[in-house]
Chain A
Amino acid sequence: MKELYKDKFTSVDDIQQRFEAAQYICSEQIATCVYIAHNLQKPVMVEGPAGVGKTELAKTTAQILDVPLVRLQCYEGLDESKALYEWKYAKQLLYTQLLKDKLGELLEGASGLEQSMERIHNHDDLFFSEAFLEPRPLYKALHEELGCVLLIDEVDKSDPEFEAFLLEVLSEFQVSIPELGTIKAKIKPLVFLTSNNSRELSDALKRRCLHLYVPYPDEKLESRILTSRVPELSDTLRKEVVSFVQQVRELDLKKVPSISETIDWAKTLLLLHSEQLEPAMVKQTLNVLLKFETDIDAMGDHLRTFINKAHKRSGR
C-alpha cells in the first residue's frame, strides 16, 4: 500500500493559505486538524451546527489535493449493499441466459452430475468477479489509484449496525467481501465524517477519529469568509451584514442562521442592489436568513435595534 498523496501539506500555515486560495477560510484549529489527519492518516469526525461548512471542508480538501471526492450520504436503513458493493443480479441473470449454449458446449461429453460440476468448477467463479460487482462509495474510495477524500456525510443518521461496520473500514482501510476476499485500499483515503449530533455516536467510532468541532464563526472570521465568497459586496454592507447576523445568533431561535445563510443573504442583498441595510429591505429578505415562521416573528421587535447597531458598527 502506498502511503502518501502526490500532493502534500507541509505545515499548518501552508494549509491555511491554500484553503484561502480555494475560497475556504479556515481557523487555525481546522487547519491543524486537517494537517494531522493528512499526515497521520486518521479519519476526522467533524461536528457542528448545520451550514458551518462541514461538507465544504471535505470538498475543498479534495480540490486542493487534486483527488476525487467520494461521498457517502448516510440515512436510516443504509446498509452494506448500498455503501460498499452489490452484485449486478440482472446482469448475472442476463449472462446466464445468453451463455446457455456455451455452457452446453462446455459440458459436452461430461457424464454424470459430478463430472459436470467438476468442469464448471475449473472455470472459476465467473459470475462473482469484479465485472459483476456494482461498486458503491466505500468500495470506490478504496479503489482510487491516487487516493481520494471520502466524505461520510451525516453519519449520525445511520443505524448503529452500519456504524459498527464502518469501524473496520476506518481503522484498517480494508473491507471483506466474502466472494472476493479482503480488499485493501490502494492509497488510504482521507476520511471526513460529519455529524449533526442527532444521536450519540459510539465511543469506538469516536476513538478512531480526530474530533473537530466547527462552531459558528466570530465576526472577524465571518467577515473574511464573506470577502472571499462574495467579493462584489461593498465594505460597508459587508460589515453591516456580519454585525446583523452576529446579533441574530444571540437570539433564542429555532434555527440559528449559519455561514451558508449569511452568504446567501449577502448575495440576495447584492442582487437587489442595496447599498446598506434598510428596515424594509431586511424585512423582505429575512426569509433567506431565517427558515422558520416563528423565528421571523421573533425577530420583529429586534429588527430596528439590530439594524441601528449594524450601522454603528460599519461606522456610519
Chain B
Amino acid sequence: MQQTLEDFYKVIRAAGINVSPSDTIETSRTVALVGYSDRSILKNAFQVSLAKSETEQDLVADCFEQFFSFDTFSAANDPHSNNTASASDEASEPQQAQSEAPQAQSELAKMLLEGDTASLAIEMKKAAREVGLTDIWFFTQKSLYAQKIMQKMGLRDLQNDIAAMGKGDCPSSIAQAGELRNAKEFLAEGVKDFVEQQLSMYGRNATRNLREDHLKSSKLSNIEQRDFHVMHDLVRKMAKRLSTQYSKKKKQDKRGQLDFRKTLRRNVAYDGVMFETYWKTKYIDKPRLLVMCDISGSVQSYARFLLLFLHSLNDVMQRIDSYVFTGNLIPVKDIFEKYPVEQAIDKIMADHGMGGSDYGTTLLDFEDQCMDAIDNKTTVLILGDARNNFLAPRTEVMQTLHLRAKRVIWLNPEPTTFWNAGDSVMYKYKPYCHMAKTCNTLDHLDRMLDDLLKAATS
C-alpha cells in the first residue's frame, strides 16, 4: 500500500502542489488512522492533510478521483467478455476430446480467454509499476510505455500461443487463436487508455513547464497571439512573486529613538520607573515606481507584452503610476483598473497605439505632468526603443530626471549593437540612465525587475 501512497503523492506533486517529505509522513499516519474502508472519509483525510489552500483542496479531490478509479477494461469489455465466455464454453468440449491439440499456455492468454478483467487490471498495474510508468512525462513516451507494459505482462508468450494454436489443424484451436488475437487487440487498447490516463496525471506539470520555459526565453516579438493567456499567467505569477518579495512592509521595532512621552505614560503604573519602553518605530517606504511604456509602431510586437506586464504590476503593487506614449504622455492607471487585462490592452492599443514615436514631446509632457512628483524615492522605468524618427531628443529633461529620481532605468527591446543605428537616440539618453539594458524576453524582464526592486527597497 505504501507504494500506492507514494504514487499518489507523485500525482499530487505533478498537479502542482508542494508536498514535502514531512507532509507525506504525516499523511501516511493520517491514512493509517482513518483506514481505507470509507472512500469519502479517505478523500477528506487526504484533502485536509495535503492541501494548503482552497484551490489546492479541489486539486487534491480531482487527483483522488482520477487516481483511485478502477474502471480499466470495464467499459470496453462487456460485449467482449460474453463473447469469450460463450466461445470457450463451446471450445471446451472438443478440446477435452483432442487433448493433443495445442492449448493456451501463458497466464495472460488464460486470463484473456476467461475474460478475467480484474486480474488483468491488477497484472497491468503491476507491470506498470515495474516499468516505472509514474516517471512518464511527455506524450511522446506513450507508445513506448504501452509496449513495455505489454511485454512485462507476457506479450511474447501470448504471441507464441497464438502462433502455435493457429498452426494446428484442430478447428477449435484455430478459432481460439482468432479469439486470442481479438483479445490482444482489446488488451492493447486497454493498456493504451491506461497509459494515457496516467500521463494526464503524472505528466500534467512537465508538459506545461516545458512550454512555459520555452515561452519565458523566447523573444517577446516572436510569441504568438494564441499563447497570450499562458503568458498572462506567467507574467502575473512573476509580478506576484516580485511584489511579495519586495513590497513587504518592514517594521523596525525596538531600535532607534526612545519615545519618551509614550514611555512615561505607559509606566505611570510603576511609579514612573521605566519597565516598559516604547520606541519610535520607523517604517520603510514601499518603492514608488513610475513606468512609461512606448507603444508606437516600431515596438508594436513588444508593446502588448509590456502592457501585460504593466497591468500585472498594477494589480500587485500599490504605488505605481503607469503611462503609455507615442508622442504625448497618457496615464493608463484608470484603464487598467477599470477593464480586465485583454480589454484594457486592446483599448490602449486602439486608442493610443501606432504612429511614430516622438520621445522629445513625451519628455516635455513628462516634465509638465510628472516632474514635480518625482523625488528621491521614485524609480522611473522607461520601456522603449528610443527610435525618435529624427526629431529633437530633448535630452535636457532626461538630465533633470536623472538628478531628481532615485533611479532611471531604460529597458530597450533592441540589442545594444542597434542602439546607435538609424534613428535611434539611445546613446544620447544612455548617460542619463542609471541603468540601460536590452530586454526582450520574459526572463530578461524578470531579472531586470528583480534588480530594480531590490535597489528600490534597499
Chain A residues with a Cβ under 8 A of chain B: 12, 28-29, 32-33, 35-36, 39-40, 42, 44, 47, 89-90, 93, 159, 200, 203, 206-207, 210-213
Is the Cβ of B34 less than 8 Å from the Cβ of A12? yes
Is the Cβ of A32 less than 8 Å from the Cβ of B33? no
Is the Cβ of B29 less than 8 Å from the Cβ of A40? yes
Interface CB pairs A-B, < 8 A, 30 = A28-B40, A28-B44, A29-B44, A29-B47, A32-B34, A32-B44, A32-B45, A35-B33, A35-B34, A36-B33, A36-B49, A39-B33, A40-B26, A40-B30, A40-B33, A44-B48, A47-B53, A89-B275, A93-B270, A93-B271, A159-B251, A206-B52, A207-B22, A207-B23, A210-B48, A210-B49, A211-B51, A211-B52, A211-B57, A212-B48
Asked if B41 CB lies within 8 Å of chain A CBs, one says yes
Asked if B54 CB lies within 8 Å of chain A CBs, one says yes
Given known contacts A207-B22, A211-B51, what 16 new A-B pairs fall within 8 Å (CB)?
Answer: A12-B41, A28-B41, A29-B48, A32-B41, A32-B44, A32-B48, A36-B48, A40-B29, A42-B26, A89-B269, A159-B251, A200-B244, A210-B48, A211-B47, A211-B57, A213-B54
Chain A nearest CB, measured from B38 CB (Å): 8
Number of A-B contacts (CB under 8 A): 66
Chain B residues with a Cβ under 8 A of chain A: 18, 20, 22-23, 26, 29-30, 33-34, 38, 40-41, 44-45, 47-49, 51-54, 56-57, 244, 251, 269-271, 273, 275-276
Is the Cβ of A36 less than 8 Å from the Cβ of B45? yes
**In whole angstroms, how far apart are the Cα atoms of A212 and B18 in the complex?**
17
Chain A nearest CB, measured from B241 CB (Å): 12
**In whole angstroms, how far apart are the Cα atoms of A207 and B53 in the complex?**
11
User: Which residues on the A side are within 8 Å of B45 (C-beta)?
Assistant: 32, 36
Is the Cβ of B270 less than 8 Å from the Cβ of A207? no
**In whole angstroms, how far apart are the Cα atoms of A206 and B56 in the complex?**
12
| A12 nearest CB neighbor, chain B only | B41
Chain B nearest CB, measured from A52 CB (Å): 13
Known: A28-B41, A28-B44. A207 touches B52 (CB 8 A): yes
Partner of A213, one of B20, B57, B269, B271: B57
Chain A nearest CB, measured from B347 CB (Å): 23
User: Which residues on the B side are within 8 Å of A200 (C-beta)?
Assistant: 244
Is the Cβ of A36 less than 8 Å from the Cβ of B22? no
| B248 nearest CB neighbor, chain A only | A160
Chain B nearest CB, measured from A139 CB (Å): 19
User: Which residues on the B side are within 8 Å of A203 (C-beta)?
Assistant: 18, 52
**In whole angstroms, how far apart are the Cα atoms of A200 and B241 in the complex?**
13
Looking at B20, B44, B244, which has the most chain A CB atoms within 10 Å of its CB? B44
**In whole angstroms, how far apart are the Cα atoms of A203 and B51 in the complex?**
11
User: Which residues on the B side are within 8 Å of A40 (C-beta)?
Assistant: 26, 29-30, 33
| B273 nearest CB neighbor, chain A only | A93
| B60 nearest CB neighbor, chain A only | A211
User: Which residues on the B side are within 8 Å of A36 (C-beta)?
Assistant: 30, 33-34, 45, 48-49
| B31 nearest CB neighbor, chain A only | A36
Partner of A90, one of B20, B34, B51, B269: B269
Is the Cβ of A89 less than 8 Å from the Cβ of B34? no
| A30 nearest CB neighbor, chain B only | B44
**In whole angstroms, how far apart are the Cα atoms of A207 and B50 in the complex?**
9
Partner of B54, one of A12, A44, A47, A93: A47
User: Which residues on the B side are within 8 Å of A28 (C-beta)?
Assistant: 40-41, 44
Is the Cβ of A90 less than 8 Å from the Cβ of B270? yes
Is the Cβ of B49 less than 8 Å from the Cβ of A207? no
**In whole angstroms, how far apart are the Cα atoms of A207 and B27 in the complex?**
11
**In whole angstroms, how far apart are the Cα atoms of A35 and B54 in the complex?**
20
**In whole angstroms, how far apart are the Cα atoms of A28 and B276 in the complex?**
49
User: Which residues on the A side are within 8 Å of B270 (C-beta)?
Assistant: 89-90, 93
Chain A nearest CB, measured from B159 CB (Å): 49
Chain A nearest CB, measured from B139 CB (Å): 32
Chain A nearest CB, measured from B251 CB (Å): 8
Is the Cβ of A33 less than 8 Å from the Cβ of B34? no
Chain B nearest CB, measured from A96 CB (Å): 11
Looking at A29, A33, A44, A203, which has the most chain B CB atoms within 10 Å of its CB? A29
| A87 nearest CB neighbor, chain B only | B275
User: Which residues on the A side are within 8 Å of B49 (C-beta)?
Assistant: 36, 210-211
Chain A nearest CB, measured from B160 CB (Å): 51
User: Which residues on the A side are within 8 Å of B22 (C-beta)?
Assistant: 207
User: Which residues on the B side are within 8 Å of A12 (C-beta)?
Assistant: 34, 38, 41
Partner of B48, one of A33, A39, A89, A159: A33
User: Which residues on the A side are within 8 Å of B20 (C-beta)?
Assistant: 207
| B52 nearest CB neighbor, chain A only | A206
User: Which residues on the A side are within 8 Å of B23 (C-beta)?
Assistant: 207
User: Which residues on the B side are within 8 Å of A93 (C-beta)?
Assistant: 270-271, 273
User: Which residues on the B side are within 8 Å of A44 (C-beta)?
Assistant: 48
Chain B nearest CB, measured from A15 CB (Å): 11
Chain A nearest CB, measured from B143 CB (Å): 39
**In whole angstroms, how far apart are the Cα atoms of A51 and B366 in the complex?**
50
Query: What are the 4 closest A-B residue pairs judged by CB atoms, nearest first?
Result: A32-B44, A206-B52, A210-B48, A33-B48
User: Which residues on the A side are within 8 Å of B56 (C-beta)?
Assistant: 211
User: Which residues on the B side are within 8 Å of A39 (C-beta)?
Assistant: 33
| B276 nearest CB neighbor, chain A only | A89
User: Which residues on the B side are within 8 Å of A90 (C-beta)?
Assistant: 269-270
User: Which residues on the A side are within 8 Å of B269 (C-beta)?
Assistant: 89-90
**In whole angstroms, how far apart are the Cα atoms of A35 and B35 in the complex?**
12
**In whole angstroms, how far apart are the Cα atoms of A206 and B22 in the complex?**
12
User: Which residues on the B side are within 8 Å of A33 (C-beta)?
Assistant: 44, 48
User: Which residues on the B side are within 8 Å of A212 (C-beta)?
Assistant: 48
Chain A nearest CB, measured from B43 CB (Å): 9
User: Which residues on the B side are within 8 Å of A32 (C-beta)?
Assistant: 34, 41, 44-45, 48
Chain A nearest CB, measured from B412 CB (Å): 35
Looking at B29, B30, B38, B56, which has the most chain A CB atoms within 10 Å of its CB? B30
User: Which residues on the B side are within 8 Å of A206 (C-beta)?
Assistant: 52-53
Looking at A33, A44, A203, A210, which has the most chain B CB atoms within 10 Å of its CB? A210
**In whole angstroms, how far apart are the Cα atoms of A35 and B446 in the complex?**
45
**In whole angstroms, how far apart are the Cα atoms of A213 and B56 in the complex?**
10
User: Which residues on the A side are within 8 Å of B29 (C-beta)?
Assistant: 40
Is the Cβ of A211 less than 8 Å from the Cβ of B53? yes
**In whole angstroms, how far apart are the Cα atoms of A159 and B252 in the complex?**
13
**In whole angstroms, how far apart are the Cα atoms of A210 and B113 in the complex?**
48
User: Which residues on the A side are within 8 Å of B47 (C-beta)?
Assistant: 29, 211
| B18 nearest CB neighbor, chain A only | A203
Chain B nearest CB, measured from A105 CB (Å): 25
User: Which residues on the B side are within 8 Å of A213 (C-beta)?
Assistant: 53-54, 57
| A206 nearest CB neighbor, chain B only | B52
**In whole angstroms, how far apart are the Cα atoms of A89 and B34 in the complex?**
49
